[in-house]
Amino acid sequence: MVLLSPSMKGLRKLLRICERYAVAHGLRYNTSKSKLMIFKSGNKIYEHKEPLSLCNAPLNMVTKFKYLGHWVSDNLSDILDLERERRALAVRCNMLARRFARCSEQVKITLFKAYCQSFYTCSLWTGYTQRAYNALRVQYNDAFRVVMGLPRFCSASGMFAEARVDDFYAIIRKRCASLMNRLQASPNIILSALACRWDSPLLRHWIGLHAPLARCNLL
């Protein structure tokens, strides 16, 4: 469960509601796993003097937290989550290369698509450096070479085209387009607002991913 509030006063009110609900329904919160994170707004840092508590236990403040497998940072950066995915991809491709080295090429391609193209929560990545983004792209390309037993410096675009496998950019575009479609079709007015507002980071990122492709099609 996540509580979001634009102010500390509002957050305290939400915590008290949770406490009353827990007492009324015989529930108990695990306060040792409950954390407090204050998101930064540019260079501005929100200062609070009184610590927040849940069930009389103070909440520890953190700058990053892993929620449903996705790393959330107080500066809204996705670099940490990209690194998580890069490491996981390296582990999965090495496992495939070791266990299925003698399989046919088609079997290897099928396994690669199943285990190395998930890019969990990649459609939420909007704040990252080009260095972190390229590191994951290179890891994806190298993973395909390792699984397929291809030369280290062979053409990435050529090997994906020959095997009819989506490259890194195609996967990211498809994942982001799928998220935008679901948000725009959602009956939830908050979710639909995220997709329709022109100042939305998700929409701006989606346009940035598809704009180069659109220019190429026009040419």
Q: Quote the tokens at residue 216.
A: 């190429």
Residue 45: count of CB within 10 angstroms of its CB = 10
DSSP assignment string, 30-86: -TTS-EE----BTTB----SSPPEETTEEPEE-SEEEETTEEEETT---HHHHHHHH
- pLDDT tens digits for 190-202? 887 777 777 777 7
- pLDDT tens digits for 27-60? 898 888 899 998 887 666 666 667 888 888 889 9
Per the prediction, the chain carries an average pLDDT of 87
Residue 218 has pLDDT above 60, yes or no: no
- pLDDT tens digits for 100-151? 999 999 999 999 999 999 899 998 898 899 999 999 999 999 999 999 999 9
**pTM, 2 dp:** 0.82
